[in-house]
Amino acid sequence: MFTRISATLGLRIQRAMSSVNIPPPECMLRPLEVPYRYLFGPGPSNVPPRILAAGARPIIGHLHTEMYEIMNDIKRGIQYAFQTNNHMTLAMSGSGHTAMECAVFNTVEPGESVLVSINGVWGERVAEIAERMGAKVHTMVKSPGGYFTTEEIEKALAKHKPVLFFLTHGESSAGLAHPVDNVGDLCLRHNCLFLVDSVASLGASPLLMDQQKIDILYTGSQKALNAPPGTAPISFNERACHKMFNRKIKPVSYLLDMTHLSNYWVRMHVLYHHTGPVSGFFALRESLAILAEKGLENSWRQHREVAEYLWKGIEDLGLKLFIKDKDLRLPSVTTIAIPDGYDWKELLAYMMKHHQVEMTGGLGPSIGMVIRVGLMGYNCSKFNADKALTALADALKHCPKRRG
């Protein structure tokens, strides 16, 4: 009997094996090779060895007690980085877009009014996200590099009566650090939640969530925080929590439903919702520890000093900075107006080929207008600024300049 069963199983395995007619791809039989690049674009930035080492630690279960302790460390680190006491503070399993969608999906219901300021690509993204989930989207639009006055914002709030107003603090597509002071007061006066994107600015440009009355704030892991892409800190204050936990209908996304995520992150209930990126959380925890050791004010100061050094070097090369007002420039991402006669794609390709330096062109509405140089976190040093300037000077010298 046993011999017959063994023979039958052997026959089934043989048939299963014979049905595999697609061979292993040759690329998967070779070892992984990744070149070293100087990531001087708008992100991701180079990850320091300490954070790489943290991400390489042994995996533990995403519901283990030790994992919840690490998640609680992350929460405390985000509270420090955001300068908030909000209890509802966590890190999303995904990029900054995940936090962006989480904020909109949880606080807005179909048919409700949303006001979005657009002066670059990120406002465009939020407007589309809100539109897709059925909100009535109203926009304030300016060309890349433009900013909105408090008078313009208040007028739009009074006209459209939104439940949510979105503003990008660090508009990386244009290199603009948008003023935030007093906007939270306006939103409070008009019974509207204030949502701020700080993906490109957190840790590089001053931002104080509680003091500036920001209701929802999010960022990404891969910019000035210097962790690998894939986690996104976010925080909701009491006003935001009241709105999202008193909905008439469930959010459109199960994965991003804060009813479940609050159990996982804030109440620390051992209930399965999704498997978080354990290694990504290790890396994020270490990046927040580095920021805490350095100190927020020192980080802001360092980014500003290096940015000003870079700005002077750019102007010494005869190039023009895209944002004219120095006070409105984003310290982490500098934008250079594309010099007359040059093909910006050729300049970028030359720097990559001959210097292993990554810079990028514009994004969304700023495509064809700017070259973007990012010196964030680990990359934020005068040494790296000199490396970027050397690559730029060499590209200007060797790339063909065409007559207009």
Binding site residues for substrate, as ranges? 372
Contact, 303 vs 382, CB < 8 A? no
The Cβ of residue 49 has, within 10 Å, a number of other Cβ atoms equal to 8
Which tokens is 330 given?
């984003």
- CA-to-CA dists, residue 385 to 245, 308, 354, 377, angstroms: 46, 10, 17, 13
Crossing angle for the helix pair 96-107 and 258-265, to the nearest 10 degrees? 120
Place of tokens 């048919």: 111
Crossing angle for the helix pair 296-316 and 278-294, to the nearest 10 degrees? 90
d(CA 305, CA 302): 5
Contact, 197 vs 168, CB < 8 A? yes
CA dihedral 25, 31, 35, 39 (to 10 degrees): 80
- In the chain, what is the greatest distance between 2 CA atoms, to the nearest angstrom? 88
Residues with Cβ within 8 Å of residue 143, at least 6 apart in sequence: 119, 365
Nearest C-alpha neighbor of 203 from the set 120, 281, 287, 123: 287
Which tokens is 365 given?
């509405």
d(CA 165, CA 116): 6
DSSP 166: E
